[in-house]
Structure 1
Amino acid sequence: MRWDRLFDDLAAQLALDEARELDAEVADRTRRERALLDVHTRMLANTDAGHVGLRLPGRVVTGRLADVGPDWALVETAPGRPCLVALAAVRGITGLGPGARTPSVVAKRFGLGAALRAVSRDRAVVELADVDGRVVTGTIDVVGADHLELAEHAPDEMRRTANLTGRLLVPFWSLGSVRRIH
């Protein structure tokens, strides 16, 4: 009978060791998988999932995460009021749920320049905020490889030569957000 208890005890210890080893392996694999996730894939998994807050220097852009590109996010701050945010300017994000989604090959190529060209094509009056929080209004005239050129004018005026107050070249690395005014 003592031998039976000894063997039962050894079997229980072996089963406990195996369970601990399995738990450690699962935890290790989970850590490795999470280490492969980036902000872009986390944000993609949360498009249309609820409200997020993108913290930029001096302000927070809140709303529904409508779309995400490799270096930008589109947040609908109110119905029909999208705000294009450069991910390089984001200092923190609230409201993201768990999970990740891999972008398509096409989505990986649709960068900030392409998104800004779409805004420029519409000739929309925009509010542009840089990474320092400075806000200017105008119309995007040119979108280059790594910059945009804004024709500055009052938000309630159309882009006309007589209405221009200046021209501003903004490198992408200093862009915070672009929001259509009308």
Structure 2
Amino acid sequence: MRWDRFFDDLEDQLASEWEAERAVLDTEAERLRLSRVSLRERLQMLAHQGETAGSISVEFTDGTVLTAGITGVGCDWVALQPVERRSSAVLAPLGGIGAVGLPHAELLRSARPAAAAGGLSDRITFGFVLRDLVRRRAGVSVHLTQGRMLTGTVDRAGVDHLDLALHEPGAVRRSDAVTGFRIVPFAGVSWIRLDGASVHG
């Protein structure tokens, strides 16, 4: 046996073992990184990839499925623009999302590490957004997790619930149009549709 060939074989074997070991460590590091990624962060990545609008289907806990683009992500909520009704917007607590369907390439892109945002939207809660709807006197359809829908105007929004004045869709919130009131816990909200035409500044 020639010694130079013997040492070449040893070097090749050692290099192969190092490559295999590095691949295992890289795989473990990636698994660890992915274990720390939240749904909110993945939705933020999709929101920043504006070209995905229309290719995402959101399945809500009430059984509704909407094809929509993500227009914003807050602390504990997501805003969507439905493809089929451009004049309306949808607001959903993250707990109201049952599943998100999207092409495989977008699924992989959404799992990439994102730059730390640290912006104001990171601190805007679902209740804060609802208090803006109170100020606007916006007409809404509140879709509950058990499958029912309530229409009306949000009168107040607390830390974990909202007060809804019930009235017909599209009607202005006046005392003679109100048919009742409901306190709705945020945990019972699957999603809310806001009709842009009903917004009064």
What TM-score do the two structures reach when normalised by structure 1? Answer: 0.93
State the one-letter code of the partner of 2:23: D
Unaligned runs of 5+ in 1: none
For 1:42 and 1:6, the matched residues in 2 are separated by 51
Size of the alignment, in residue pairs? 182
**Residue 42 of structure 1 aligns with which residue?**
42
Pick closer, same or farther for the CA change 1:49–1:100 going to 2, 3 Å.
farther
1:76 and 2:90 are equivalent in the alignment: no
Q: Which of residues 87, 95, 98 in structure 2 aligns to 1:88? A: 95
Deviation at 1:156, TM superposition (A): 3.2
CA contact (8 A) 1:42 1:100 kept: no
State the one-letter code of the partner of 2:64: R
**Residue 154 of structure 1 aligns with which residue?**
168
Between stretches 108-117 and 78-87, larger displacement belongs to 78-87
Between stretches 153-162 and 35-44, larger displacement belongs to 153-162
SS at match of 1:83: strand
SS at match of 1:45: helix
Percentage of matched positions with identical amino acids: 30
1:165 and 2:164 are equivalent in the alignment: no
**Residue 120 of structure 1 aligns with which residue?**
134
Between stretches 143-152 and 1-10, larger displacement belongs to 1-10
Q: Which of residues 59, 63, 74 in structure 2 aligns to 1:58? A: 63
**Residue 177 of structure 1 aligns with which residue?**
191
**Residue 14 of structure 1 aligns with which residue?**
14
1:126-162 Cα deviation digits (max 9, x unpaired): 1110111211110000111111010000113211111
For 2:163 and 2:113, the matched residues in 1 are separated by 34
State the one-letter code of the partner of 2:57: G
CA contact (8 A) 1:49 1:65 kept: no
Deviation at 1:100, TM superposition (A): 4.6
1:107 and 2:112 are equivalent in the alignment: no
CA contact (8 A) 1:41 1:103 kept: no
- RMSD between aligned alpha carbons? 1.6
SS at match of 1:163: coil
Pick closer, same or farther for the CA change 1:123–1:54 going to 2, 3 Å.
same
SS at match of 1:110: coil
For 1:113 and 1:130, the matched residues in 2 are separated by 16
CA contact (8 A) 1:43 1:100 kept: no
SS at match of 2:46: coil
State the one-letter code of the partner of 1:16: S
CA contact (8 A) 1:55 1:90 kept: yes
State the one-letter code of the partner of 1:87: L
State the one-letter code of the partner of 1:42: R
